[in-house]
Structure 1
Amino acid sequence: MKNKKVALYGGSFSPPHLGHASVIEALLRLFPCDEIWVMLSADRKDKQITADGKNRIKMLELMINELFPDAKIPILISDFELKLNKPTATYETLRLLKEKYPDHTFNFVLGSDNLRIIETEWVNGERLFQEADFLALKNPLIPLPKKLPPHITILNDVAWTNISSTFVRKLIAQGHSGIPYLTKGVAEYIKSNSLYK
């Protein structure tokens, strides 16, 4: 397998919404790479996921096919972390990925607001800060911290949104379709499978 430059975008995606889509759009437009991997997280203490991996993969497939049918590079849905079958810290996930794909370069996508907490709040944060290749989407409302990781690319021209999966799940639980925050296909899938009720 040849060396690939990968934009690695992880999250719970429960459900995947237009805020997630805006990140993928920014990566396609602003970051030259060979592939975008959208990686679903396993259950995490800090995230209430509430839909299983199979449903989240299907919703991601629907959203990506609806919004990015002509993407110039592959947008791949990765179940790598799901298959670990346990919550995994970012540092450990990246270590395991590099072990499995030693010739790939993984650029870890995150919001720039997270840069200031990596070292202090993330598991193995100091090592992660020094060793990982970060791809930070600039939040226009929050200045960048003075101290940045040594291996970082900042993407500036990003359509920033405050939509969250938690917000969308609450709307759906109240009987709302989730549109305009979801694509039509994702909203219909949620309804037909009675998710987030």
Structure 2
Amino acid sequence: MALVIEHVMKNVAVMGGAFDPVHKDHVSVARHCLRRGLCDEVWFIPSPDRWDKTLCASPEDRFAMLELVTGDDPRLVLSDEEIRQGDFRGTYVFLQGLQAKFPDVNFRLLVGADSYQGIPHWRDPLNFYGTNYNGHLLLRDFELIVFSRRGYPKPDLVVHEANGYAPLYWLGPENGFDGIYSSTAIRKALLCSNDKPEGLEQCVYDYIREHDLYRV
């Protein structure tokens, strides 16, 4: 009898975003995903300058701060795939490109419960015409890992499945994760005080001070 070797695809959680700056919850949720077996690796993929929001730190500085907090675990992978594009093309288009480049990887998008609510209204900025949304295609074609954010509800898994979307995995307080930090609040804290905000790792805070970031 011939030996049949089953090919098992690697599951990769994609955590994209501005990381302006990266904070403790970003790393904590990645480690929780790995611990629960929701993925084999987490890829941190900082965005380039974006059309939909004003970023304070440069792509180079945001990448450098991520390097400081992801370097001790080979399962936490830092990628400049999106920065090298030179422009922000939207999450769905970017994930399609990743899938084409790495066909043996099953990509799962890792997002907060706040972002999940808005996905149906995400757009492709290179083909931006009024209501030209493509978020529903992302939900259909890519699995999600959604983590809790205070003030936002857990996704309705029954409705999600009934809409014909790809599987969704939930990571909340009952699983040991409760997101409490935000980059926006940390930037405001840095403007108001020279003290290190609670949500920042010391190495990231030192980098911010050394490079005089988040000052008016």
TM tier, smaller: 0.7 to 0.9
Distance 1:37 1:52 in 2: 20
User: Equivalent residue for 1:24?
Assistant: 30
Q: TM-score w.r.t. structure 2 length?
A: 0.79
Distance 1:46 1:174 in 2: 26
Gap change, CA 1:62 and 1:32, over 3 Å in 2: same
User: Equivalent residue for 1:150?
Assistant: 166
C-alpha contact 2:49 2:59 (8 A) present in aligned 1: no
User: Equivalent residue for 1:49?
Assistant: 55
Amino acid at match of 1:118: I
Distance 1:139 1:49 in 2: 21
Distance 2:104 2:178 in 1: 32
Gap change, CA 1:46 and 1:158, over 3 Å in 2: farther
Q: Which runs of 5+ in 2 are unaligned?
A: 1-7, 124-133
User: Equivalent residue for 1:136?
Assistant: 146
Q: Point out which structure has higher relative CO (alpha carbons under 8 A, 6+ apart).
A: 1
User: Equivalent residue for 2:39?
Assistant: 33
Gap change, CA 1:48 and 1:30, over 3 Å in 2: farther
Q: How does 1:1-197 map onto structure 2 within 5 Å?
A: 3-65=9-71, 69=72, 71=73, 74-119=75-120, 121-123=121-123, 124-139=134-149, 142-145=153-156, 146-148=158-160, 149-156=165-172, 157-197=175-215
Task: Kindly name which structure, 1 or 2, has the bigger radius of gyration based on alpha carbons.
Answer: 2
Aligned-pair distance for 1:81? 0.7
Aligned sequence identity (%): 31
Name the count of aligned residue pairs.
190
Gap change, CA 1:186 and 1:116, over 3 Å in 2: closer
